[in-house]
């Protein structure tokens, strides 16, 4: 069965070092795979390439890139018979980390050699009609995403620096969140709706969240000072983020988020202009994604493809 690799040469590590663009064709040839590789050329191109692959009857599609590439490819694969595989090359790789997919590209390729039979049906979210597969948000994290996407160099250190600059300027806004008959109003510094448990880099915004339960998790953070923000940032990585008194967590199949005026929001790190009243819904078990076979032994120190 033919496989198509959709490769984003401008994503994360690929932008600085094109070695993976050479390695994948070598991998295909070395293992005599029925596969080809196509390169994205502009924002949105990955969706068009993935749709063409699905329309051609291909049932194995590999996204090689970061969270934005994942989002674009998955838009075309979701709701079809095709399976999506990931070779993560981005800065966060939140969904890959949540699913246990190796974030080292060579190890992710090695996992694909084991086959596409081990897959998982996962939920997806939609915010104002825009699909997201890991996380969406408004407020502070949307402001950070807007700044971060303009950087030439990515990575966790630059994300922290960008976040600090945005923190100094961002103001909380009054929001009302409604889900399943429950409504709450608060001055929110950020509002995030997650499918997985984390933003990426193992920063767990919604500990215990699952991608296959037909539910989404909303996390809202009240305005806090610098000391409180530092403590919350530590909790993201050390655990217990949602147990902070500054954090409100809700669960539901849909949310209505109302704010005073239209503004930006992000889906998997890509920013958009949105309405004052933003609807977020879940599409249960809507994407087939390849995951590691946990019954097979893992070799974390192995650096080369077998």
Per DSSP, helices labelled H in 170-245 are: 226-238
Q: Are residues 83 and 225 in the same domain?
A: no
Q: Are residues 81 and 213 in the same domain?
A: no
CA dihedral of residues 161, 165, 168, 172 (deg, nearest 10): -90
Read off φ and ψ for residue 88, nearest 5 degrees.
-70, 135
Looking at residue 95, what is its pLDDT?
Answer: 96
d(CA 185, CA 175): 6
Which domain CATH number covers 36?
A: 3.40.50.10330
d(CA 151, CA 158): 9
Q: Are residues 219 and 250 in the same domain?
A: yes
Name the region of 295 (left: φ>0; alpha: ψ -120 to 50; beta: rest): alpha
Q: Are residues 147 and 7 in the same domain?
A: no
> Whole domain around residue 14: which residue ranges?
3-118
Which domain CATH number covers 144?
A: 2.60.200.40
Enumerate residues 6+ apart whose C-beta is below 8 A from 145.
137, 266, 269, 270, 271
Mean pLDDT of 135-163: 70
Q: How does residue 163 score in pLDDT terms, banded at 50, 70 and 90?
A: low
Query: Reduced to 3 states, what is the DSSP secondary structure of residue 237?
Result: helix
Could you say which of 84, 118, 152 is where a domain stops? 118
Q: Are residues 114 and 151 in the same domain?
A: no
220 within 8 A of 213, measured Cβ to Cβ: no
Q: How does residue 165 score in pLDDT terms, banded at 50, 70 and 90?
A: low
**What's the mean per-residue pLDDT of the chain?**
88
pLDDT in tens, 243-252: 999 999 999 9
- Exposure string of 126-155, with b = 16+ CB inside 10 Å and e = fewer, is bbbebbbbbbbbbbbbbbbbbbbeeeeebb
Closest CA to 257 of 230, 271, 275: 275
pLDDT in tens, 196-240: 999 988 999 999 999 999 999 999 999 887 788 889 889 989 999
């Amino acid at each position: 069965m033919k496989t198509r690799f959709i490769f984003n040469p401008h994503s994360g590590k690929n932008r600085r070092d094109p070695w993976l663009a050479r390695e994948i064709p070598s991998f295909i040839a070395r293992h005599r795979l029925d596969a080809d590789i196509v390169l994205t050329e502009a924002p949105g191109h990955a969706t068009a390439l993935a749709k063409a692959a699905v329309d051609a009857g291909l049932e194995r599609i590999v996204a090689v890139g970061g969270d934005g590439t994942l989002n674009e490819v998955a838009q075309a694969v979701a709701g079809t018979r095709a399976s999506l595989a990931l070779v993560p090359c981005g800065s966060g790789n939140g969904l890959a980390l949540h699913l246990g997919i190796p974030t080292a590209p060579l190890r992710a390729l090695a996992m694909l050699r084991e086959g596409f039979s081990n897959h998982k049906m996962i939920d997806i979210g939609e915010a104002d009609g825009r699909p997201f597969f890991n996380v969406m948000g408004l407020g502070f994290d949307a402001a950070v995403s807007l700044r971060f996407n303009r950087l030439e160099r990515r990575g966790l250190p630059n994300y922290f620096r960008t976040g600090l600059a945005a923190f100094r300027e961002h103001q909380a806004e009054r929001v009302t969140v409604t889900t399943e008959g429950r409504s709450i109003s608060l001055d929110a510094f950020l509002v995030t709706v997650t499918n997985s448990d984390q933003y990426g880099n193992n920063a767990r915004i919604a500990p215990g969240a699952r991608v296959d339960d037909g539910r989404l998790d909303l996390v809202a953070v009240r305005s806090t000072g610098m000391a409180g923000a530092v403590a919350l940032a530590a909790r993201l990585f050390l655990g217990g983020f949602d147990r902070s008194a500054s954090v409100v967590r809700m669960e539901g199949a849909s949310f209505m988020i109302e704010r005073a005026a239209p503004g930006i929001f992000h889906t998997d790190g890509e920013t958009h202009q949105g309405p004052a009243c933003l609807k977020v819904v879940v599409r249960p078990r809507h994407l087939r994604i390849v995951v590691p076979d946990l019954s097979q032994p893992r070799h974390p120190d192995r650096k080369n493809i077998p």
